[in-house]
Structure 1
Amino acid sequence: MLTTLKNRRIKLSILTNNPILLWSGKSTSRNFPANKYPFRPSSHFLYFVGIPLENAVIRLEQGKLELFYDNPTIAASLWHGPLPTRDAIADLIGADQAYPLAELPAKIQNAATIPVQDFATYKQQCQLLQRTIPPSNQLTGIDLELATAIIKLRLSHDTDAIAQIKESVAVSVKAHQAGMQATANAQTEAQIRGAMEQVIIAHDMTCAYNSIVTIQGEVLHNEQYHNQLTPGDLLLADVGAENTRGWAADITRTWPVSGKFSPTQRAIYDLVLAAHDTCIAQMKPGVEYREIHLLAAKIIAKGLVDLNILKGNPDDLVDRDAHALFFPHGIGHLLGLDVHDMEDLGDLAGYERGRTRSDRFGLGYLRLDRTLRSGMVVTIEPGFYQVPGILNNSDLRDEYDDVVNWEVLAQFADVRGIRIEDDVLITESGTEILTADLPNTAQDIESLLQFSC
């Protein structure tokens, strides 16, 4: 790990001229000071330090690392047990020098930084640097130069990062298998969520994001788990682990509560899987991710025409964004130290320089518009959703009334939402599906569910 961290810091020094200050951040309290939310450091800090230090700052200049961190107090040792000293941590991360936080003000001149998410630390950043730091997605000057350099480094993962992601993926696969195994005897979404998150916790990991385990698959980021499970429901589970060094996985599977897809569910599921598989088959360095998204849109549009849900030429339907009635989000996103890697930097990270987000109905939620390169890890997650807020919108119904067979669509009422998501590493020659150990065909999923019963 230490060699990897030093290499990252050296590479950053080549891309930047100013001294760099990166804060780890602080935990926030819920209701009273001692009852805190779990701490998660800034990913930009974590990328160069490798361990989740709280209330720490690093200064980088010409590849050299200085750590600013206070030794643990007697009270901290009382409540939390023996804790490493500043010097021990400095040795672990390969810092050239280590100082208490009180010495930080003498080292801030001309420093670039990236704001952290918690307000207390952000306020400290602004006060020490004696300037207002804009939000991460609106950086200017030397801060923008720093963000651009970090993006360049983090877009393509090194060997250590890929190994860390694979570790999180392996646990996430086990969590999804546990969810499927729990389905036969579960009465609520919460019980399946519990089965899945238990696996993650048992491996000393955390959830990389709030788990989505729902029969309301049309709610893209549903975080409620109270619904009863009934035969005929589809369960959409979007659950991923994050390991102790902060690297994430992100997997979605959709399966029938009864153990077998209905004919209408199977038809839509196979269509979504066809889009998924075709997109991955076309991915390699040099390919535009935006084109992968549009490829998925065209496959879904064609499939819906074949099912008589949509009418017309698939290419024309995509040009009109008719597919977005059922596939409104983007095909995926970057994956790394965060489940949506570097999205604190907004489209600065997700979009190639000079590109801007579209205002089109079918492209506005595209999170990534870059040329694929070796070392990138991205998700591929096409879907089909019947979102009442979209399908019952009078303006959209008027606009697309000529291309939607509403009577036929009504026959697919038992398909509220289907998403199939895998994590894909771009290699020199193509792709490696990191989540391949978790089956995604309808037949294999039914077999797993029958085995579970």
Structure 2
Amino acid sequence: MTELQQNFAAHIAELQNRTHTILERVVDIDLLCIHAGKALSVFLDDMYYPFKTNPHFKAWLPVTETQNCWLMVNGKDKPVLVFYQPTDFWHKVTQLEDSYWTPFFDIKIIAKPDEVTSVLPSIKDNIAYIGAHQELARDLGFSHINPKSIIDFFHYHRVYKTDYELDCLRQANKLAVAGHTAAKNTFLAGGSEFDIQLAYLAAAGQSENEMPYDNIVALNENCAILHYTDLEKQVPQQHRSFLIDAGASFNGYAADITRTYAKSDNEFSALIGAVDAMQQRLVTGLKPGASYVDLHVTTHYQLAEILKQFDIVRMDPQDMVEQGITRAFFPHGLGHHLGLQVHDMGGFMANEQGQVIASPDQHPFLRTTRGIESKQVFTIEPGLYFIDEFLTGLAESKHSQHINWDKISELKPFGGIRIEDNIIVFDHGIENMTRDLGLA
């Protein structure tokens, strides 16, 4: 048995244990039917939107592109996989082949979506549907649909990754790092945003639909748009800066990496170096027992030092943070949990019962407030941006006199900076999957 098989066996055992634990607590449910999902049609067209698998389904097995599949699990018996394998001369059909994961499932093949009724229990009073298509669930006779107690339990425990999941996340990072390297080279060679995107996809070996999210490929002023995805095809007159936030998928698990580059050796490149050094310091703060919220607040104090060092804001760093000045340059959260979803579930949960730890009022865009623990996976992604909306707010505020507007004018054409790595937390330290693969 290979290491992957061993880790997958342990992964299934852990999911079985979680399932058994929650079903023992819920008195009226003793079986879960997890629906992979189905493709959604485009309005007034015969086309379909790209299919995205239910994360509760792909947590069990690496089937991420096949719709109309089902899992039946109770935490004790061998899970039943209902695999959709139609006869279709219009499209390529995913053929089920023996793999390391197939022995762990009792597999039933169906050729039509409605054939699942011959496999599902006819009486569903004690069965819960887990999935996105509630109308279909009701049509099939389910009355328990996404019970909150069950969903909360799985989301709470999802942040604790098994060794198999960590293997998948490392592989996703490997693919993404190949893409990032190609993207950087294309930028330095003078490519357009569209050129860079094509180079990234080719190097990562994945299509846009396989990406875990829409790649952010931004040149110059576009680097200030946090979720920029327009991809201009025209090469700009001048290449000043390049920000790329792009990932990759492996067995349903996501990488999420960001880098920022300057075309020339100038003050903006020095500013990138300062943010990069700050990011690496913040990564070391990921320790079991530490607070992610505190680490986010620490980011603002360190960013204030950079703003003062580069003469962007002429205030005491402590005052900058207390007066909210740093939030104008860094308006988002420090990072998030990473796994089956880019912004993985469970980051705000205080316990298995679904109680929430709210974000502080001063930092509403945090994506996790939960304490840091071993076997959790995070992104760390501080930024420094020159965004019109926030600069206008500063100009109209009582703090305008403390802003070096000449320096802002010099740096604004570069857009902004973000640096992001994917980190595993262990009791003995951290593993920076991104930098360990050589992406500086």
Structure 1, unmatched stretches of 5+, are: 134-138, 442-453
1:12–1:149 Cα contact (<8 Å) kept: no
2:390 maps to a residue whose letter is I
For 1:445, the equivalent position in structure 2 comes to: none
1:251–1:421 Cα contact (<8 Å) kept: yes
1:179–1:192 Cα contact (<8 Å) kept: yes
For 1:319, the equivalent position in structure 2 comes to: 322
Mapped pair 1:76 → 2:83: no
- C-alpha distance 331-176 of structure 1, shift in aligned 2 (>3 A): same
Matches within 5 A, 1:80-99: 80=92, 83-84=95-96, 92=102, 94-96=104-106, 98=108
SS in 1 for 2:125: coil
2:172–2:254 Cα contact (<8 Å) kept: yes
- C-alpha distance 250-90 of structure 1, shift in aligned 2 (>3 A): closer
Q: Pick from 295, 300, 305: which aligns with 2:298?
A: 295
For 2:235, the equivalent position in structure 1 comes to: 228
Superposed displacement of residue 61, structure 1: 1.6
> What CA deviation, in whole Å up to 9, does each residue of 1:294-314 have, x standing for no partner?
111110012112222223332
For 1:431, the equivalent position in structure 2 comes to: 430
> What CA deviation, in whole Å up to 9, does each residue of 1:24-67 have, x standing for no partner?
10122346776434322111111023323421222222333553
2:337–2:347 Cα contact (<8 Å) kept: no
Could you tell me how far apart the structure 2 residues matched to 1:174 and 1:392 are?
39
Q: Pick from 204, 207, 221: which aligns with 1:200?
A: 204
> What CA deviation, in whole Å up to 9, does each residue of 1:348-378 have, x standing for no partner?
5999944113332xx1110011111111111
For 2:416, the equivalent position in structure 1 comes to: 417
For 2:361, the equivalent position in structure 1 comes to: 359
> What CA deviation, in whole Å up to 9, does each residue of 1:165-187 have, x standing for no partner?
11111111111111122224334
Q: Pick from 218, 221, 226: which aligns with 1:214?
A: 218
Mapped pair 1:306 → 2:312: no
Q: Pick from 126, 131, 152: which aligns with 1:110?
A: 126
SS in 1 for 2:293: helix
Could you tell me how far apart the structure 2 residues matched to 1:32 and 1:325 are?
43
Mapped pair 1:175 → 2:179: yes
- C-alpha distance 391-378 of structure 1, shift in aligned 2 (>3 A): same
Q: Pick from 9, 15, 20: which aligns with 2:16?
A: 9
Aligned positions, number: 417
Q: Pick from 95, 98, 101: which aligns with 2:116?
A: 101
Could you tell me how far apart the structure 1 residues matched to 2:405 and 2:83 are?
64
Could you tell me how far apart the structure 2 residues matched to 1:47 and 1:240 are?
19
1:355 maps to a residue whose letter is I
- C-alpha distance 386-431 of structure 1, shift in aligned 2 (>3 A): same
- C-alpha distance 306-240 of structure 1, shift in aligned 2 (>3 A): same
TM-score (norm 2): 0.84
1:305–1:314 Cα contact (<8 Å) kept: yes
Superposed displacement of residue 80, structure 1: 2.6
SS in 1 for 2:158: helix
1:173–1:437 Cα contact (<8 Å) kept: no
1:237–1:252 Cα contact (<8 Å) kept: yes
Identity of aligned residues (%): 23
For 1:62, the equivalent position in structure 2 comes to: 75
Could you tell me how far apart the structure 2 residues matched to 1:314 and 1:82 are?
57
- C-alpha distance 422-81 of structure 1, shift in aligned 2 (>3 A): closer
1:420–1:440 Cα contact (<8 Å) kept: no
1:24–1:56 Cα contact (<8 Å) kept: yes
- C-alpha distance 382-435 of structure 1, shift in aligned 2 (>3 A): same
Could you tell me how far apart the structure 2 residues matched to 1:193 and 1:297 are?
32
Farther off after superposition, 402-411 or 367-376: 402-411
Superposed displacement of residue 346, structure 1: 8.2
Superposed displacement of residue 384, structure 1: 0.7
Structure 2, unmatched stretches of 5+, are: 110-114
Farther off after superposition, 191-200 or 430-439: 430-439
Superposed displacement of residue 385, structure 1: 0.7
1:432 maps to a residue whose letter is E
More helix by share: 1
- C-alpha distance 71-210 of structure 1, shift in aligned 2 (>3 A): closer
Q: Pick from 123, 135, 140: which aligns with 1:123?
A: 135
- C-alpha distance 70-270 of structure 1, shift in aligned 2 (>3 A): closer
Q: Pick from 234, 238, 242: which aligns with 2:245?
A: 238
- C-alpha distance 83-308 of structure 1, shift in aligned 2 (>3 A): closer
Q: Pick from 315, 339, 357: which aligns with 1:336?
A: 339
1:189–1:229 Cα contact (<8 Å) kept: no
For 1:404, the equivalent position in structure 2 comes to: 403
RMSD over aligned CA atoms reads 3.2
Q: Pick from 31, 53, 63: which aligns with 1:51?
A: 63
Could you tell me how far apart the structure 2 residues matched to 1:33 and 1:350 are?
44
Could you tell me how far apart the structure 1 residues matched to 2:179 and 2:224 are?
22
2:126 maps to a residue whose letter is N
TM-score (norm 1): 0.82
- C-alpha distance 177-437 of structure 1, shift in aligned 2 (>3 A): farther
Could you tell me how far apart the structure 2 residues matched to 1:126 and 1:405 are?
61
